[in-house]
Amino acid sequence: MKHIKIPFAIGIAFFLHSCSATSKLTVPSVREADLQKKYNYETGFNNADTINFIRIGHATTLINIGGKTILTDPWFSEKKGYYRGEPIAFLQDKLPLLSMIVVSHHHYDHFDIETFKTYPDKNVPFIVPVGVGKKVKSAGFSNVYEIDPWQSVTIDGVKVTACPAKHKVKEITFMIEAGNRAVYFGGDTKLIPELNEIKTRFPKIDLAILSVNGLKIRPMFNKQMVMSAVQAAEFCAFINPKVAVPIHYNFSGGKFKDLFILKYDGNAQEFANATTVNAPKTKTFILETGDTLSIH
């Protein structure tokens, strides 16, 4: 029996993956608008532009910086094996006019291109890892930039720099700059040494958006794929953002998948607690979906 446990578990994992890959997309539940709150934070910088941030759900967010609106990791549906674990802020048809979209990697819950292909502006810029562009173009979008770590693209005064990442597939994270403001979007990377260079290249970060659920794959000997809450707090202590917002912490693969395939190590409150200890200079906001944070 010892010799068949691991292959059997891996077989289950691949079976579940194949089932979810072909599952029908469904419309997620939406959080009631009157429950959505607004928060403000003063950084103390004179003559600094305001950053407006909305958590849509999972790693999907809206960042308004330099007067431009940026969508991160679009995911506006659900399917078997992929559940947010919370209502989404709003559906795709309620999006404002977008200035660009940044995509950290091609996993469905970060790159729901089948749903997003209905977005009407087919010339909206996409910034994606090298190799993902062809999938964007096949969905009808024409304005695509593929970049590797430390390469940059500047569009209408907003500079987007790819930063390192490590996940199950090729991934990048992003530093988004406009004027005297900087926002780091961490996708769902693990904590890796290559991220240390961020502190040198970007000494002033206003907002860090970090995944915190510490996702592990049970059949792969609990191999970690995403930062844990404590690791994300330690990362904050290193890069010293003025504000941090946790994301990617309510995800569920469903009862069976969570029991046999996926394992989690972190949530928003654990991140907030760990940040208070490890990075006391960083202000943490736990946002429900649809909540807005304005950084002045």
Q: What is the pLDDT of residues 266-290, one digit of tens each?
A: 999 999 999 999 999 999 999 999 9
Query: Global pTM?
Result: 0.93
Q: Say which residues have a Cβ less than 8 Å from residue 4's Cβ, sequence separation at least 6.
A: none
Local confidence band at 3 (pLDDT 50, 70, 90 cut-offs) = very low
The share of the chain scoring above pLDDT 70, in percent, equals 92
Mean pLDDT of the chain: 93
Lowest model confidence (mean pLDDT) among 7-16, 101-110, 135-144, 212-221? 7-16
Q: List the 243-247 sheet strands across, edge first.
A: 152-155, 158-163, 173-178, 181-185, 207-211, 243-247, 283-284
- Burial profile 19-48: b = 16 or more Cβ within 10 angstroms, e = fewer: ebeeeeeeebeebeeeebeeeebebeeeee
Q: Which of 9-23, 100-114, 156-170 has the lowest mean pLDDT?
A: 9-23
Long-range contacts formed by 162-165: CB under 8 A, 24+ apart: 162/127, 162/129, 163/195, 163/198, 164/189, 164/192, 164/194, 164/195, 164/197, 165/104, 165/105, 165/189, 165/190, 165/192
Q: Decide: helix, strand or coil at residue 69.
A: strand
Q: What is the mean pLDDT of residues 97-126?
A: 98
The four Cα atoms 164, 166, 170, 172 give a dihedral, to 10 degrees, of: -30
Question: Is the pLDDT higher at 41 or at 17?
Answer: 41
- Residue-level pLDDT at 23: 81
Average pLDDT over residues 93-102: 97
CA distance 177 to 186: 14
Say whether pLDDT at 43 is over 90.
Answer: no
Query: Residue 18 above 50 pLDDT?
Result: no
Within 10 angstroms of residue 135's Cβ, the number of other Cβ atoms is: 16
Compute the average pLDDT of residues 148-154.
98
> What average pLDDT score do residues 52-78 get?
98
DSSP assignment string, 257-295: HHHHTEE----HHHHHHHHHHH-TTSEE----TT-EEEE
Domains and CATH numbers, the chain: 25-295 (3.60.15.10)
1 confidence band (pLDDT: 50, 70, 90): very low
